[in-house]
Amino acid sequence: MFDQIDINQVRMACFGGIFLIMALLEAGLPRRRLKSSRLKRWPTNWGIVLLDALLVRLFFPIGGVGLAMLAQEKGWGLFAFLGWSGVVAGLITFVVLDLAVWFQHLVSHKVPLFWRIHRMHHADSEVDATTALRFHPIEILLSFLWKGVVIIALGGPVEAVLIFEIVLNGSAVFSHANVRLPLWLDRPLRFLIVTPDMHRIHHSVLPHETDSNYGFYLSVWDRLFGTYVEDPEQGQETMEIGLGAALTPRAHSFPFSLAIPFLKNPDRRKEARVEDAKGKS
């Protein structure tokens, strides 16, 4: 079977390789000219990553793959009950986990309490590879809890969970990267996976665009549930990113970023939605 240390090494190696590739592509083939320098943003984003990693290690030491191993050992989950295993069970596990992440993302926008936590991710003034890692520690812990429940409920193959974890991390970095893909490549890819141009719309300051394109890897869910937006109103290179003047300029601060969930309506979410609706009518 798998060794937990080896699993973590594989995941970190894959993540590090993908991040390095996307960071180099951002430098050589940028989609947007950054208004805020990496030197100003990256220390805070990486500081959040380190804090998240420490807390996850503390509260969930065995991780998602470890839970899958435990479920398999104990005979827990749907697939154990049905007696299913192999490729079919693995594919279903992967797809259901991707749907679960999409649904969690949708809920983080629709439920006010969860939005308060999630908006730290959207407060970043730019979207690049480090934005993919910028999640409040509370959200990270809730995400691991939700994902763990789904993994145990399914009881799917350990290999499928490992592959999903690697793909999820890599696709998050890819879809947030400030990389220019040619249209002839971007459009076909969108029928299967989330591309940087597709996900960047989700970080628009316009609420109806923020409430779209929730996918991390598979793009089918947004098309299926009617939350897909093809192009931003203001254009990819000129669209405004973030949550407006009350939050985004201060989100470069590490302490302020951690305090965002506890601030009282600084993004004027309801008012912005009303104004956005009037602008569209």
Residues 6-62 pLDDT 10s = 777 888 888 899 999 999 999 999 999 988 888 899 999 999 999 999 999 898 888
Residues 146-187 pLDDT 10s = 999 999 999 999 999 999 999 999 999 999 999 999 999 999
Question: The whole model's pTM is what?
Answer: 0.92
In our burial notation (b when 16+ CB lie closer than 10 A, e otherwise), range 41-58 reads beebbeebbeebeeebee
Nearest to 236 by CA among 178, 172, 192: 178
Output the CA torsion sign for 87, 88, 91, 93: negative
Contact between residue 57 and residue 133 where contact means Cβ atoms under 8 Å apart: no
Question: Using CA atoms, how far apart are residues 216 and 196, in angstroms rounded to an integer?
Answer: 10
Question: Using CA atoms, how far apart are residues 115 and 120, in angstroms rounded to an integer?
Answer: 9
**Residue type at 110 in one-letter notation:** K
Contact between residue 99 and residue 221 where contact means Cβ atoms under 8 Å apart: yes
φ, ψ dihedrals at 241, nearest 5°? -105, 145
**Residue type at 170 in one-letter notation:** G
